[in-house]
Structure 1
Amino acid sequence: MPRIQIELPVNFAFATEIPLYLSHMNYAGHLDNAALLSVVSEARTRFFQSLGYSELDVEGLGIVIADAALQYKSEAFHGEVMVVFMTTSDFSSKGCDLLWCMRDKVSQREVARGKTGIVFFDYAARKVAAVPDHFRARAESL
């Protein structure tokens, strides 16, 4: 079976530091795969906050995760501080991808990389909505 390959941009629009807690570790003592997605979710929330939005209010619309893919590059351990880099890419009429990369703050070792596909959602109407023009313009200018 072919492995997932995720190409990353040279530059990212956003970065945030997130420490790894004991609750992020699995029985083998390294970062758990489900916890990795939790760390990335926290970074995504901070990314939207940095733009003045919340995941439930991006120009009046919310976001929904449509898909996610990731590649592990190395282990990560309790007490390490991760830097999660994030940027938008591949806009469509209803959504875009959030590309991300996680590195250890001290060693700069790449731990994981991934792509999260989001679509915009009108929670009042309960339907997918178009990407807000102002959000797209802001994100593409970063």
Structure 2
Amino acid sequence: MARIEIPLPEAFVFETLLDIRIGDINYGGHLANDALLRLAHEARLRFFKTHGYSELDVEGHGIIMTDAAIVYKAEVFHGETLHFQLGFADPNKYGFDLIYQASHGKTGHEVARLKTGIVFFDYDKRKIAPMPGVFVTRFLREQQGVVAS
């Protein structure tokens, strides 16, 4: 069976640490698959918040997630910490892919890669909206150094 491949971006623009809580653990005693997507959501929220945005207001438009893919590489257990790094890929008129690399906080070993498709959305009109030019200039034309939170 072919595995999904998620290439890493040329540069990461944000990083954060997230603790694994007991509610993130499944019956197998390790990180639950749905918990990893929730942790990625938290990392994304932290990225936006660091830049004065929310998921409902990024330069005047909200965002929505159009798809998600996850490649699991190692187990993670309660009490451990994950180091998330985020970067952009495949920008288009309406959005981009946000790539997440999750590594073990102590060992640095990669435990998962995620991709979420993000598009800008006008919640008043209930329609997809073009990516704001300020956002493009700020993040996609000049991927600057890592911002940590």
Question: TM > 0.5 between the two?
Answer: yes
Partner of 2:147: none
Displacement of 1:64: 0.5
Greater relative contact order, per chain length (Cα 8 Å cut-off, separation 6+)? 2
Partner of 2:115: 115
2:60 equivalent to 1:60: yes
Measured on the aligned residues, the alpha-carbon RMSD in Å equals 0.9
Instruction: Give the total of aligned pairs.
Output: 142
- In structure 2, the gaps of 5 or more residues are 145-149
**Sequence identity (%):** 48
Displacement of 1:11: 2.8
2:25 equivalent to 1:32: no
| Cα distance between partner residues in 1 of 2:53 and 2:88 | 15
- In structure 1, the gaps of 5 or more residues are none
| Cα distance between partner residues in 1 of 2:46 and 2:128 | 23
One-letter amino acid of the counterpart of residue 64, structure 2: V
Q: Which moved more, 1:9-18 or 1:38-47?
A: 9-18
* 1:1-142 alignment, distance < 5 Å: 1-140=1-140, 141=142, 142=144
What's the TM-score, normalizing by structure 2? 0.92
Displacement of 1:105: 1.0
Which structure 1 residue ranges, 4+ long, deviate > 4 Å from structure 2?
Answer: none
Q: Which moved more, 1:61-70 or 1:47-56?
A: 47-56
